[in-house]
Copies of this chain bind each other. A is one copy, B any other.
Amino acid sequence: MDSNAKRATIKEVAAEAGVSAMTVSRVLNETGPVAEETTERVLAAISALNYIPHRGARALASQKTNTIGLLFPEINDLFFFQLMRGVQLALMPHGYDLLLYSTARPQGLDVLNLPLGQHNTDGLIVFTDSLDDTALRRLYSARFPMVLLHRTPPPDVAVPSVSFENKDGAVKMVQHLLGCGHRRIAFLAGAPNNEDANWREAGYREALAAADIPFDPLLVREARFEEETAVSVVTALLKEKRPIDAIFAADDVSARGALRAAHAAGLCVPKDIAIVGFDDALLSQYTDPPLTTVKAPIEEAGRAAARQLLKLINTGQADPLTLLPTELVIRQSCGCQSAQGGDFIRVKKQHNGNSD
């Protein structure tokens, strides 16, 4: 191994192989015919000099970065790893790399100094509220390819968006609980600006209304997808001694918190109270008792977002809305007998799981 080697350039490789730089480029990018014998010499030279093409130079000359950016807010949820994996898996076979950036406070982001954008990526996946509407509009008006993940674009911005059938899943879950005989169902909401959470709450309300059960605002608490918040909120709720048959948490993390709070209050789940979640997160089958939940295809969401973005980059258009199906996963925390996925539940088919 050469010790103090500076980076080798394409010219040096070309010289080593006795060809022109262009030929090396052709070998590298498979962009034009090169004789087999020449190819081999070039490859040998590349190997010998430990040559790695310079991204910046490539981007300059070809006007492509072969990089996709993923913008995400400050988060602390394993959820995100699955999502990222999905994106990466979908991107890799197409030769794209994934550049991640976490925007601690999206509002403060200077659009002119965006760490990810036209200057270093071919497109952007924007996760939830990691970018505010203003920045979104700017990029959109500059025709920069973007896909939103778990976020609806503002009305005047036609950016493709990928999400779950959140409302549909929540409806199914509430109908399942109702089918078990539960009537007083509390709901643990997410943060106010979280769209997934809002659609889930909408589904909760809609299913109640459909069953002619009056909506009781006192049964809705904000757990913000946080286990500890859920614990304190549910502890408080249980202290109030309202009659409650079940708690529907807007995600599995808060369901876990609810479970802990219920146990701490001396309640037996599901005998005294049913507790269910949403997401079917990694650990949800191991809670005590195993959690009944709605399975959300998280990794698939990442894949779908990547696919849509590539489509947008390559063809100039993509599906405006991709909604991934959710499905009931019935375990023990709901206290129902049904072994299988609750097929007996009639769910009115909707053209779109989120909107009416």
Chain A interfacial positions (CB closer than 8 Å to B): 1-5, 7, 46-47, 50-60, 65, 74-78, 80-81, 84-85, 88, 97-102, 104, 111-115, 117-120, 137-138, 141-143, 227-228, 231, 260, 263-264, 282-283, 286, 288
Contact = CB atoms under 8 A, between A and B. Distances in A.
A7 B227 CA distance: 44
Given A4-B143, A75-B81, A52 B227 contact: no
A81 B88 contact: no
Given A2-B141, A231-B286, A112 B47 contact: yes
A53 B283 contact: no
Contacts of A100: 98-100
A288 B260 CA distance: 9
A120 B3 contact: no
B282 A76 contact: yes
A112 B13 CA distance: 13
Contact of A52 (B1, B117, B288): B117
Contact of A60 (B57, B80, B137): B57
Contacts of A55: 56, 59, 119-120
Contacts of A288: 260, 263-264
Nearest to A260: B288
A314 B231 CA distance: 48
A142 B49 CA distance: 11
Contacts of A115: 97
A282 to B, nearest CB: 7
B138 A52 contact: no
A119 B56 contact: yes
Contacts of A88: 102, 104
Contacts of A3: 141
Contacts of A113: 52
Given A47-B112, A60-B60, A88-B102, 5 more contacts: A5-B142, A50-B111, A55-B120, A74-B85, A100-B100
A120 B56 contact: yes
A102 B89 CA distance: 11
B101 A98 contact: yes
Contacts of A142: 5, 7, 50
17 contacts: A1-B138, A4-B143, A5-B142, A7-B119, A50-B111, A50-B112, A53-B119, A54-B60, A55-B59, A56-B56, A56-B58, A80-B81, A84-B102, A85-B102, A97-B101, A98-B101, A231-B286
